[in-house]
Amino acid sequence: MNTKTILIVDDEQTTRQGLKKTLEIWSNGRYEILSAADGPEADELFNKTKIHLLITDIYMPEMDGLKLLKNLKDKGHKPVVMIVSGYPDFEYAQEAIRLGVVNYLLKPLSKQKLIEAVEQAMEMEANIERTDYIEKVADQKILRIDGRNDLSKTPIKEALAYVNNNLNKQISLKEVADFVHLNSSYLSVLFKEQTSLTFSEYITRKKLQLAKNLLLTTELPIEEIAHETGYQTAKYFIKLFKEFEGITPSKYRKSSMNESPF
């Protein structure tokens, strides 16, 4: 599990060090706490590491807090952002909200208020990552089928459960038909009629959903993931994955690195 990172940006050294010390004591090693004296230094840190929560001052020389946020947004960085400022500037607050800032705290602030705000921000960050993760892994067609209640106590519901419990194996239509006591041809027609997917497409989509989960949450080699999803050869698994996802499993894993909330 990767340690998440909090970055404090403030040109006042005493304030910066005080915030850092407070959060290090509170964090007790759960998070990495970094600090920067200005916008350009913060910008450099973003280029080197993934920042999950940014706590920044507004008024700073060379690059103020809002300009920093705009630069980060233009570069595709999406940290959760809190502002800690000594000035209750309404226009700045409005602009901060437009840029997605989740909290605007005024100095001086108590340790308790800071910690409460940071805890809320990290909870929000975790929810955002979890949502992004689900969207990245989930197959919308599978979600629609899994969410249906009208299939309960039907042969198709039993067939789906059998498939879902045996994704690490090669599964045939006849095998499932025998399990639900139906003729293979009839099961095939009924399956397509009730799920809008062919039997083979459902199995493939479920296996690839499992594969994506393993790619994002484990360091298993591609060959082992192919085996875990019931494919005899990695070559066939990679070919199938690319057909459905548009990229190879390795590229999928690389492009999604550090985005899983687990």
Question: What total number of domains does the chain contain?
Answer: 2
Both 116 and 222 in one domain: the answer is no
Both 102 and 21 in one domain: the answer is yes
- Over the stretch 38-76, which tens digit does the pLDDT of each residue have? 999 999 999 999 999 999 988 887 778 888 889 888 998
Both 131 and 9 in one domain: the answer is yes
Region 173-197: mean pLDDT is 95
Both 72 and 154 in one domain: the answer is no
Q: Which two tokens stand for residue 154?
A: 């039907």
Please report whether residue 76 resides in a domain: yes
Please report whether residue 261 resides in a domain: no
The pTM for the full model equals 0.69
Domain enclosing residue 69, as ranges: 4-135
Please report whether residue 260 resides in a domain: no
| Residue 93: CATH number of its domain | 3.40.50.2300
What's the whole-number average pLDDT of the chain?
90
Both 90 and 201 in one domain: the answer is no
- Start-to-end CA distance of the chain, whole Å, equals 7
Please report whether residue 131 resides in a domain: yes
Both 146 and 178 in one domain: the answer is yes
Which of 112, 135, 158 lies at the terminal end of a domain, its last residue?
Answer: 135
Both 232 and 153 in one domain: the answer is yes
- Over the stretch 85-138, which tens digit does the pLDDT of each residue have? 887 777 777 777 778 898 988 888 899 999 999 999 999 999 988 888 888 888
Both 220 and 100 in one domain: the answer is no
Both 144 and 130 in one domain: the answer is no
- Which residue in the block uniquely carries the two structure tokens 């990290």? 122
- Over the stretch 149-165, which tens digit does the pLDDT of each residue have? 777 678 999 999 999 99
Which of 135, 162, 193 lies at the terminal end of a domain, its last residue?
Answer: 135
Is the pLDDT reported for residue 256 higher than 70? yes
Q: How far apart are CA 229 and CA 223, in angstroms?
A: 10
Which of 96, 117, 135 lies at the terminal end of a domain, its last residue?
Answer: 135
Both 116 and 187 in one domain: the answer is no
Please report whether residue 262 resides in a domain: no
Both 52 and 78 in one domain: the answer is yes
State percent of the chain over pLDDT 70: 96
